[in-house]
């Protein structure tokens, strides 16, 4: 047998076990780009990321005959409820207060919320309760017409505790 025909190319000559630096770099760069696209798409839906949250004003009026302590706003976006805490401010009967630039972390500016309500505590002082002058947390009914239209950073929502 002729040695010429029995000779096969070495691994180095055939490139069988050597890597191609250009090809490996291209695949690595492609992988990094793909990961970047996936991460950017997954965070685009996160409204609170990057300052996209709507920062509206909320004027709340206490229409009850007793004082209340305002705890939070509860709002609904895409069927899900979200809560934003307020400053536990006491409002006397007939008093109102405007929370300015209250950030709604799950609602992007120029989008609409479906409904909103207020969580508060009633003043129970003078009712013979020793432990706490404020009753348990209660929530108003859902307000829907008050939130019609898109949330913008200069909008003032006027809500009331009946």
For residue 43, the SS3 value is: helix
Angle at 101 between CA 149 and CA 94, to 5 degrees: 85
Q: Is 74 in a helix, a strand, or coil?
A: strand
Cα–Cα distance, 114 to 89 (Å, whole number):
25
Query: Longest Cα pair distance anywhere in the chain, in angstroms?
Result: 114
| Local confidence pLDDT in tens for the 162 residues of the chain | 555 555 555 555 555 555 666 666 666 666 666 565 554 444 344 444 445 899 999 999 999 999 999 999 999 999 999 999 998 999 999 999 999 999 999 999 999 999 999 999 999 987 776 667 899 999 999 999 999 999 999 899 999 999
Q: What is the pTM of this model?
A: 0.67
Supply φ then ψ for residue 24, to 5 degrees: -60, -40
Partnered with residue 49 across adjacent β-strands are: none
Beta strand 115-123 pairing with 96-108? unpaired
């Amino acid at each position: 047998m002729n040695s010429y025909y029995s000779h096969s190319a070495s691994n180095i000559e055939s490139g069988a076990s050597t890597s191609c630096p250009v090809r490996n770099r291209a695949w690595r760069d492609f992988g990094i780009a793909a990961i970047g696209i996936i991460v950017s798409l997954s965070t685009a839906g996160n409204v609170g990321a990057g300052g996209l949250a709507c920062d509206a004003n909320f004027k709340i009026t206490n229409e009850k005959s007793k004082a209340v302590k305002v705890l939070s706003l509860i709002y609904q976006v895409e069927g899900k409820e979200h809560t934003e805490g307020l400053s536990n401010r006491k409002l006397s009967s007939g008093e109102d207060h405007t929370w300015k630039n209250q950030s709604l972390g799950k609602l992007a500016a120029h989008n609409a919320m479906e409904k909103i309500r207020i969580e508060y505590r009633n003043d129970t002082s003078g009712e013979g309760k020793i432990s706490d002058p404020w009753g348990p947390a209660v929530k108003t009914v859902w307000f829907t017409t008050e939130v019609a239209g898109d949330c913008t950073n200069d909008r003032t929502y006027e809500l009331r505790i009946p």
